Amino acid sequence: MKQQLIALLDNENNQKYYRYLLLDPLTSVSELDFVGLNNIKDLYGEQAVTPVVRKDLAYDLDACPQLVTLGKPNQELENRLLHFSLMEAKGEILQSKRYVCCWLVSQYEPKIVAKILSEIGMHLTQFLGSIFVPFYEPFRMQLLHQGNLICPEFLADLLSSFVSYSYLTVNKTIETINNLGYKPNPSTIFLSEDAKFYNQHIKKIFDIYLSQANIYIKLDKETTQINLLDLARAYHRACSYGLTNLNDQRTFTIMTLRYGNLLSNSTLKMAIDQAKLNEGSLSERFQAIDRQEFLSIKN
């Protein structure tokens, strides 16, 4: 994985550009960690770090995302910083807030890139109706990316100021959004309703993802096997069917991932309908149903 990042950030073509690391100080790392912002400033100088102003956090620039220069045009990449940023990113997959956001390649200097990142966050507010959209959060970015594969040009166009934008998925793979190299027709660019929904419900989806991850850990299974998009779709189905209680939504989502289309079985559907009227009861109702009913589901 490290070699993949080095190949991306330090190949012959990208050596002529700026290479960046984006960090989010809304979560913290040990002051002993190499990638701690104070350590970065001590080692590389204050000029190595540039705040990315978030409108909702503008009163405290230290709380805003921080853009770290990994390499300047035609200069060596800071391999130690890259190494420890990747180690930190891999270790925080199950955290609700992640410190390491992404790795960027751009022709633009830090202040311009910081401004562009702020503008992207503001631009997304018109689609998602928030004060500021922290699109750079890896969990959110993964759902924006995977949830909008019907129009992959949307994110690529949004990130057109970058040669590449790379982030670590919950599956511990590096996903990269590359520059399109052309300007797409604006009438063909859109963010799907599903992707909007996932981002509007990001906290609940993460809560359910964490529950699924804990199940995997107890079963000694790799959490990287969880398909985040399938989980988000199952949660969407729970909401669309009228389940409003988080525990019911969690039960519906996890059992859907395990067995398939629960609504195709009349016994299970009846239990779900009853839970809509008696919120929070779905788990108990499912426990009272013979497992054979779940196993009989045909997808």
Does the pLDDT of residue 298 top 80, yes or no?
A: no
280 near 247, Cβ under 8 Å?
Answer: yes
Average pLDDT of 8-26?
Answer: 95
What would the pLDDT profile of 129-165 be if each residue is shown by its tens digit? 888 999 999 999 999 999 999 999 999 999 999 999 9
99 near 29, Cβ under 8 Å?
Answer: yes
Does the pLDDT of residue 187 top 70, yes or no?
A: yes
Query: Cα separation of 163 and 159, whole Å?
Result: 8
The token pair at 19 is: 């290479």
The token pair at 206 is: 């993460």
Give me the pLDDT at residue 219, please: 97
Query: Cα separation of 275 and 116, whole Å?
Result: 46
pTM to 2 decimals? Answer: 0.95
101 near 28, Cβ under 8 Å?
Answer: no
Q: pLDDT exceeding 90 applies to what percent of the chain?
A: 92
Segments in the chain forming alpha helices (H): 2-9, 37-44, 79-91, 110-128, 138-146, 153-158, 193-200, 202-218, 228-241, 246-259, 266-277, 282-287, 291-295
* Residues in the chain, overall count: 299
Q: What are phi and psi of 114, to 5 degrees?
A: -60, -40
Give me the pLDDT at residue 130, please: 85
Give me the pLDDT at residue 299, please: 66
